[in-house]
Amino acid sequence: MARGVTRHLVGSALDEAELLARVAGAGAASELGHIDTLHGARVYVRDADRAARYLGAGSLVLDWGAGAGQMSWLLARRGLRVIACDLPGTDPVPALVEDVEHVRLDRPDRLPFADGAFDAVLSSGTLEHAGSVADSLRELRRVLSPAGRLVIFRFPNQLSISEWVARRGGRWAHGVRMSRSELRFLLRSHGFRVDGMGYDSWLPIWLVRRLRWLRPVRTGLDGAWTGVDGLLVRTPLVARLSTSLWCFAAVNTEYPPPRPGGAGGR
């Protein structure tokens, strides 16, 4: 997709979810293929709203594993200061990050930033892909200020029905999955206080990408699809089968994590 066309889309007066769906549908980046429907795009808009309320305007946020840059773009529009980072080979959509500093990483658990450099770190579908979840959490805590906060979206749920179906069908599934109690323990053991945690996205947002013949049908049902998804993640017992977890956590200065040799500041 031409950069000028992408800039025109993201700079227009359309609804944010519609903008993201159009950019994704136009093939701006392969990482956006799962949000080329309004339901998929609305998940990110909703997440950005929740994160902005938790963090507060003006916070300096590291979008760790920014991908195409959709969350960086959404957070910047909400008054947060954002630095995006990712590994080489993951290219952001230029128009989504043109007002955001973008840093290339050599590895996800070694960040080229000073101790306490950020007010917050966002991990949106990233932590589960890190080579070492423990090393990554230790490094994220290092770059957070004493009052810093960690926002996690789309962490694979251990009991996810969509992950189970994928594994049973021989398709790709996340190798790292946790229950709420496991993720809570992991965060606490690495010096974080969990402020909130819950289930997210019962209906997988990648479904229509896999079943493209459903796309014309889904176009007219996005509102209902979103409503049903929200109902499912709020229904006791059923919610435990949700696709992913979300979590808001803060640095716990009373419980500093161990810092093995070589994992401290640069």
User: Looking at residue 9, what is its pLDDT?
Assistant: 56
CATH hierarchy code of domain 3-251? 3.40.50.150
8: CB partners within 8 A, 6+ apart? none
Mind giving me the DSSP string for 13-42? SS-HHHHHHHHHHTTS-GGGGGGSSHHHHH
Residue 71 near residue 123, CB atoms below 8 Å: no
User: Looking at residue 181, what is its pLDDT?
Assistant: 96
Residue 24 near residue 32, CB atoms below 8 Å: yes
User: Looking at residue 233, what is its pLDDT?
Assistant: 84
Spatial distance between the Cα atoms of 20 and 29, rounded to a whole number of angstroms: 11
Q: Please report, to the nearest 10 degrees, the dihedral formed by the alpha carbons of residues 53, 33, 166, 157 taken in order.
A: -10
User: Looking at residue 34, what is its pLDDT?
Assistant: 72
Spatial distance between the Cα atoms of 233 and 199, rounded to a whole number of angstroms: 6
User: Looking at residue 262, what is its pLDDT?
Assistant: 44
Q: Where are the domains of the chain?
A: 3-251
Spatial distance between the Cα atoms of 214 and 81, rounded to a whole number of angstroms: 38
Spatial distance between the Cα atoms of 194 and 149, rounded to a whole number of angstroms: 10
CB atoms within 10 A of CB 266: 9
Nearest to 123 by CA among 153, 160, 90, 83: 153
List per-residue pLDDT tens for the chain, 266 residues long: 445 545 555 555 458 988 888 888 777 667 776 777 777 788 899 999 999 999 999 999 999 999 999 999 999 999 999 999 999 888 888 888 888 999 999 998 999 999 999 999 999 999 999 888 999 999 999 999 999 999 999 999 999 888 888 788 777 777 889 999 999 999 999 999 999 999 988 876 555 555 555 555 555 566 676 778 778 888 989 999 998 999 999 999 887 655 655 444 44
User: Looking at residue 89, what is its pLDDT?
Assistant: 82
pTM: 0.86
- According to DSSP H, which parts of the chain are helical? 3-10, 16-25, 38-55, 70-77, 94-97, 133-143, 161-168, 180-189, 207-210, 215-219, 222-233
